[in-house]
């Protein structure tokens, strides 16, 4: 591959899905870039599902991808759509099922955790509890900020922004900005708050009712 400005900027090799994806990947799209320090951990037995990367995906240094076992959870999957950028040090868990749609940005050190540990009842040691699972969906055009955590079973709406360091424990509406621990609605993205004001207001009211029921 001839060097060009873009290659020099990224410092990452281009990957083609031929003759076949490397072990652990079901599909790699065109123009994908994967840093040499990206690691893949495959948990479980023989029914492991591979990773699917759409066109133009970029995985920066020290990204960790975790693939689950279908025998343990039938939703185990890790799918990245087109033009998904995953920045340095991010951790993506597909054990409970993870779908990241087109055009999503994942910030440095972000953690997308579709699996956890049971905590109630015996045994006393958390390490001895079975894993818990909840599929995560990050919708098109969203941005997960640096150091943010997205926990099991959460959906991040289209074009939503999760602030740096936030801990997301429940769904975030489309075009919303959420910050804090636990993450809470801050405001709508400017320019999108009136695009569908009735729909946006309804989504916010529904979201707030859901939050209040949890307390």
Query: Given 5, 74, 117, 129, which residue is catalytic?
Result: 117
The two beta strands, 155-156 and 167-168, are unpaired
CB atoms closer than 10 angstroms to residue 19: 5
C-beta neighbour count of 101 within 10 angstroms:
19
Query: For residues 150 and 139, is the Cβ–Cβ distance under 8 A?
Result: no
With b meaning 16 or more CB within 10 Å and e meaning fewer, what string describes 173-191? Answer: bbbbbbbeeebbbeebeee
Please report the DSSP string for 135-156 in residue order: -EEE-TT-EE-TT-EE-TT-EE
Say how many C-beta atoms besides its own lie within 10 A of residue 36's C-beta.
Answer: 8
The whole-angstrom separation of Cα 111 and Cα 138 is: 13
Q: Count CA atoms closer than 13 A to 209's CA, side-chain side.
A: 6
Cα–Cα nearest to 164, from 186, 179, 142: 179
Q: Is 129 a catalytic residue?
A: no
Residues acting as catalytic residues? 117
């Amino acid at each position: 591959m001839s060097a060009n400005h873009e290659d020099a900027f990224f410092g990452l090799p281009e990957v083609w899905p031929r003759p076949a994806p490397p072990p652990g990947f079901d599909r790699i799209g065109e123009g994908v870039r994967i840093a040499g320090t990206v690691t893949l951990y495959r948990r479980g037995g023989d029914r492991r599902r591979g990773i699917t990367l759409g066109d133009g995906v970029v995985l920066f240094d020290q990204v960790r991808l975790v693939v689950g076992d279908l025998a343990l959870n039938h939703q185990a999957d890790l799918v990245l759509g087109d033009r998904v950028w995953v920045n340095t040090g991010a951790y993506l868990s597909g054990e409970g099922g993870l779908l990241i749609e087109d055009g999503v940005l994942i910030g440095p050190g972000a953690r997308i955790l579709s699996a956890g540990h049971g905590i109630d009842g015996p045994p006393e040691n958390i390490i001895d509890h079975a894993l818990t699972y909840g599929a995560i969906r990050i919708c098109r055009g969203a941005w997960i900020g640096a150091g943010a955590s997205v926990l099991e079973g959460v959906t991040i709406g289209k074009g939503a922004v999760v602030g740096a360091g936030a801990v997301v424990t429940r769904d975030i509406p489309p075009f919303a900005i959420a910050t804090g621990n636990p993450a809470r609605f801050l405001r709508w993205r400017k320019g999108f708050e009136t695009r569908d004001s009735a729909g946006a207001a309804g989504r916010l009211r529904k979201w707030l009712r859901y939050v209040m029921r949890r307390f």
